[in-house]
Structure 1
Amino acid sequence: MEATAAESYPGGQLNQEDSFRVIEIQPGERNAPINVRLVTTNLQDCAPYEALSYAWGDLTQTESIEVVTTTLDNGDNPSAPLSVTISCADALRRLRCRKAPRSLWVDAICINQTRVPERNHQLLLMPRIYSGASRVVIYLGESNGADSSDAVMDWLREIHEPSDSSGHLPPPDLNVIREFLGRRWFTRVWVLQEVRLAREAIVVCGDREVSWDAFRELRDWVANRRVYEGRHRFWDLPYTVQSLVSDGPVSVLSWLPSYHAQLLHKLVHTRDLGATDPRDKLFAVIPLLEWEIWRYREAYPAAAPKESGRADCETTEFDYYGLSPAEIFTDLARELINGIGLRVLYCAATPAAIPGLPSWAPDWSYNNPQVYHVAFLRLYGLAGETGTQLRVEAASGGTIAKLGDVCDMHTDYLPLEQWEALCEPAHLECELDQRDLSRFIDVLFKGDTFNESAAIQAVAAVKRYNHDKSGDPSPKPSSHSLDWIFKGTAQETALMDIFQSALPSFQRQAERLFHACHRQRLFVTDAGCLGLAPEAARIGDQVMIIKGLDAPFVVRPEFASSDGPEAVLLLGTCYVERGTKTEAGRVDLYHTISYEERVIR
């Protein structure tokens, strides 16, 4: 459910607790103007209807439709225009019957998006609206050609319901399937609730139609391909497909101890999904989570978590859209911290996209951050907090004295040569000695190397790639024989693809390198400690170790006063090697620090 620009809405007010509206799309030819009747009804005695699940698309690209409002007292009122997005109009045109009306619930039309009280009220009803529909119609958009989306839809229908006449239908090209699953619908957070609560769901793309159950076969096909070809040669299905085609009600709820832990888990896993209104990143998952808790308790009453955080998993009346995104996310962070502790900070990253958000409050509208898998971290208690400031016990892990460029795997940029130069002792003109090289390798992989020899070769191969990509005429770097790794030239090959001909174990090690370094910067502290920091870091920032948390953070000091603790801005988590070199050998950094009170603003 997302919001359009304000305009005159043709429907009247919804006066009953379970009132909502449906539309009847009037019959017409394919390209005829769109006319609908807007009917007010209630959940108790409404006529059968379908619910539409689709992506709104560009809010600036709209089309006008004609709406006739039907009321119990006055019958049909004169028609009035209503602007909807092009995507909505395309869906209505595609789903319209030629000779009979078709009843649908469509959020952009059935909810007055300009009235905050109504949006709040309908938000609470949406789970019942989708679960009460005879089926949910998923509209992915129009076809983009017989050899692309049409081919995928035909293949999905064939693997789900094989026909004797067509024979074996081979899968489309892998890039075609990827493009199909890259359609906007698969990236939206609201669709999780819309499909999960459906009695039945069908997928419409152009003039093709297939049951949503066909995506279970797609999931199994991808899993089998990954087994035979290796994860490095494949890709992950969109979270919307992975999560919505699960077999049965068993889920993470069996090992997450509380409602707050379950909510945080759901927010982390849906973080890459989008919503036009950032507040919907929360509002879309709360009803879904509560429905899943109810299903899990129903199926496994003895094993279900005892504490839910909400009475009988019912969402209470709340002024959802009357609060700003900053207020919503700040209150959410405070509630999560009160419920499960400071591990919520692992999800915070600066800069936030939402103005006025404290640095300790995760910005859930911010996609693709480098965050930890918080559901697997230990549970700790809460330090005190006041207003928009969070008080913690923390210690300094040093000040960033040297800082490298940002790695960006999407542009084939992993500046290992520059990073390595930051680590070299000033008096050395050669590459790192073996002891320093081990530290460098450890940091590049964030301590996750199962084969140091393969890790060293992977680093050498990336440096060789960078050398060839730059066209440097000097001798190729590294003493290793790396010709077996490369197929084609660096100009023709993406950095992430240079290991495709290597052994699977080598490829997995290289994957860890790319994942660890993406959107990170190598740094050296004033004490000589190496680490990887988020891209927002700069020289002069500090490494801060919060008592009770495993991962350190990069923070930016704001001020220190004589009558209060030091205030800092939280930039995000970082990786720091476990010790610092000294004349006596290596000292465990985490065992030589003292904690003081700090304020995170």
Structure 2
Amino acid sequence: MSNNQLCDTSGDMAGLEPYKYDRLSNPEEIRCLRLEPGQGDEPLSCTLKAYRLDEDPQYEAISYVWGTSNRSHEIQCDGLPLFITPNLRDALQQCRLSDRSRLLWADSICIDQDNDGEKSHQVFLMSKIYSQAMRVLICFGSDQTGRRAQEAYSLLYDVNEIFERFLTDSRGIYDSFPWPDNDDPLLSDSRWSSLLTLQEHPWFRRGWVVQEASLAKDALLLFGSVEVHWLWVLRLTAWVMSRTRTIIRVIAHGSFTLHTGKYASRNREEAVTLAMDQDDHDLLMILDNGRHLDVTDDRDRIYAFLGLPEAAEIRDSLSINYGQTVHQVYQDFACCYLDKTDDLTLLHYVQHTEASISADFESPSWIPQWYHKIFSWSIHDPLKQRIESLHHTELPPYSIMENSILRVKGLSMDSITFVSPQLSESTTVSDITTIWRAVLRHKNGPIYDRFPPVHAFWEAMMCSRVVGGLSFGQLQAHINAYIRHLDPSALFLGGEDAKVWDATEDDLNSPESLLGQLISWIIHNRRIAVTQRGYYCLVPGLACEGDTCAVISGTNGPFILRNTGRHHYYKVVGETFVVSRQEVDIELGERPDSVGDGQDWLDYDLEEEDIYLC
């Protein structure tokens, strides 16, 4: 939408031509606005001027929620009317000083939004813009309640004081940060509700802010009349996640995982005291977490994260081009990523709807569509060793062929003969018990003759995961409680002397059950399946009887593929977790592995073949 298509101006600027952007003349140039002093609802006034990043201009960058794209508000820019969105108007009012001007950068006004070429290049510069800013101002707007901001600030202040006192004498010893007592008043403090108000702000669900906040030299969060150091927010979040699981749901959504990962990377000495390992999010994991964040343009599900250090390997080889369609951007990213990394774990991030796996969809099935938010949890563990080709010592060969068909090496290991109804986060223990009984009645008996099959069934839903906040013994006791509901006669983890959580079915279904919550996330929009050989699997909701279970060299685990009718040509339905039949000692508390760990395919006379993913 161009400025001259917007509402009429009024007052002193009535009848004036709208502001028009001058072209930027140098690849290192950005525009900054000098916001003139004012207060309250006084009209906004600024000048726009070009600066070269390589000359180190002294500006502050604004991070805010775009909101509506309707440019219905007016700012006087170099004496002419320029139309801006309501949210930018609010952010500028919040940043404006009463006694002096302020040099700022804000994307929607400093970039000509009607010029796709300029927008593409400025997005490419975004990492420099935020990392070179003196400070990033995170604008939350006014506090409508009049008190939530102050209460949240005081809680953040108190937790930060705990950090400061501890870090004064800390020597960076791993896991040395003190745990609060169970009766610590801070854990039941009424101010947590105000922090929840802060956490529910839409800024935390915006895709671009991960880059904007994590690249900042310094950042301030502006909420009402309060200014909070962003580090305080990160410290409190890290403290809750590592030390106070009873209030974990205060910070339950995925953007916090990304933000705290960056905190762990940039503040190693204090993060290790909370037993926080250095950020292990690679670029694909970041994009996967980003599915649940908001962007106004689905192309930004790639572009919004290219400024992060994790994207350094491909950033210079991937053009930012808003003239391309979403699917062209995703395909270019996938091809560039494979070319630079040879990392076929990209395939684990494929999610499909009926439409996107259909024959007439405009993108090959092996290319992740990053706007799909079908699953709450990934099955594969990116830290696991990749599956090696049977006949190649190096990373498995692959090639991208004509029509973007991906040729890989792999084994067709099995086929699906039974699928359960689709599961969801609201699936109950009773529902799971019904499925277990159906699995037992299935014509293909289980292949599990070295340990009780019910443990394989349960592990298909746990996917070898552990639960943060539960010790090894507590986790065993929780698993045994679920096993007891499925099969009271089964051997428990830990044998005859095993601990079993004395839980009712309501307890197991409760959101307060940490294991139950994890299971609900993992199984959401998936199904339990049984294969021709008798393996138990967790498969995508689109999987059906007759689909192939295949192992692809260079990945972390097996996949469900769908035959196209042409020999060796398949659609990728998605990743699957298949429980290994290899022996484990349940009495010693050992849990079944995945077939990836057990390498079960070596037990069968299978020939490695070329698999064509289309």
Q: What is the letter of the counterpart of residue 366 of structure 1?
A: H
Retained in 2: the 8 A contact 1:391–1:598? yes
Q: Deviations over 1:499-550 (max 9, x none)?
A: 4xxxxxxx65x56544542332111234443211112223333222224544
1:130 aligns with 2:130: yes
State the 1:204 CA deviation.
0.2
Structure 1, residues 434-463: CA drift from partner, whole Å, max 9, x if none?
Answer: 944344234333356977775342245589
Native 8 Å contact 1:202 1:209 kept in 2 = yes
Q: How far has the Cα of 1:207 moved from its partner?
A: 1.5
Residue 421 (structure 1) aligned with residue 431 (structure 2): no
Q: Which residue does 1:384 correspond to in 2?
A: 399
Paired position in structure 2 for 1:276 = 296
Aligned pairs (5 A) from 1:420-499: 420-425=436-441, 435-446=452-463, 454-460=478-484, 484-486=502-504, 490=506, 495-497=509-511, 499=513
Secondary structure of the equivalent of 1:537? coil
| 1:345 partnered with 2:365 | no
**Corresponding residue for 1:467?**
none
1:520-599 to structure 2, matched below 5 A, reads: 520-560=526-566, 565-579=567-581, 588-589=600-601, 591-592=603-604, 593-599=606-612
CA distance in 1, matches of 2:56, 2:411: 61
- Residues 376 and 190 (structure 1), Cα distance of their counterparts in 2 relative to 1, 3 Å cut: farther
TM-superposed deviation, 1:97: 2.9
Match of residue 168 from structure 2: none
Question: What secondary structure sits across from 2:411 in the alignment?
Answer: strand
CA distance in 2, matches of 1:232, 1:169: 18
Q: Secondary structure at the match of 1:286?
A: coil
- State the Cα distance separating 1:570 from its structure 2 match: 0.7
Q: Which residue of 1 aligns with 2:412?
A: 396
Q: Kindly state the Cα deviation for residue 238 of structure 1 after the two structures are TM-superposed.
A: 0.6
Specify the SS of the correspondent of 2:306: helix
Match of 2:493 in 1: none
Aligned-pair identity in percent equals: 22
State which of 185, 194, 199 in structure 1 corresponds to 2:212. 194
**Could you list the per-position Cα deviations for residues 297-339 of structure 1 after superposition, in whole angstroms to 9, with x for gaps in the alignment?**
xxxxxxxxxxx568xxxx4793532332222221222233332
CA displacement, residues 48-90 of structure 1 (integer Å, 9 cap, x when unaligned): 3221011212335x53213424xxxxxx5xx124132x22221
Tell me the alpha carbon deviations over residues 186-214 of structure 1, each in whole angstroms, 9 at most, x when there is no partner.
22332233223323211101121112222
Distance 1:263 1:349 in 2: 17
Deviation string, structure 1 residues 107-142 (Cα, Å, up to 9, x no partner): 000101121111122123333322333321111233
2:495 corresponds in structure 1 to none
SS at match of 1:344: helix
Unaligned runs of 5+ in 2: 5-18, 163-183, 270-280, 388-394, 467-471, 489-497, 583-597
Does the CA contact (< 8 Å) of 1:405 and 1:415 recur in 2?
A: no
Distance of 1:395 and 1:242 partners within structure 2: 39
**What's the secondary structure of 1:215's corresponding residue?**
helix
Q: Given that residues 409 and 552 in structure 2 are in contact (C-alpha distance below 8 angstroms), is that contact kept between their aligned partners in structure 1?
A: yes
Mapping for residues 112-131 of structure 1, pairs under 5 Å:
112-131=112-131
TM-score (norm 2): 0.72
| Alpha-carbon spacing, 1:394–1:198, altered in 2? closer, same or farther (3 Å) | closer
Q: Does 1:365 align with 2:377?
A: no
Confirm whether residue 327 of structure 1 aligns to residue 328 of structure 2. Answer: yes
**Letter of the aligned partner of 1:13 in structure 2?**
R
Task: Write the distance in 2 (CA, Å) between the matches of 1:248 and 1:324.
Answer: 35
Count residues with an aligned counterpart: 515
- 1:27 matched to 2:37: yes
Distance 1:288 1:587 in 2: 35
Instruction: Classify 1:319/1:201 alpha carbon distance in 2 versus 1 (closer, same or farther; 3 Å).
Output: closer
Paired AA for residue 66 in structure 1? I
Alignment deviations for residues 164-198 of structure 1 (CA, whole Å, 9 cap, x no partner) = xxxx9955444543442232222233223322332
1:14 to 19, 24, 30: 24
State the distance in 1 between where 2:227 and 2:241 align: 24
Query: How many angstroms apart in 2 are the aligned matches of 1:119 and 1:352?
Result: 34
Aligned: 1:288 with 2:297: no
Q: Secondary structure at the match of 2:398?
A: coil
Judged with a 3 Å threshold, the aligned counterparts in structure 2 of structure 1 residues 419 and 63 are, in CA distance, closer, same or farther, namely same
Indicate the residue corresponding to 1:185 in structure 2.
203
Structure 1 residue identity aligned to 2:414: G
Q: Report the counterpart of residue 230 of structure 2 in structure 1.
A: 212
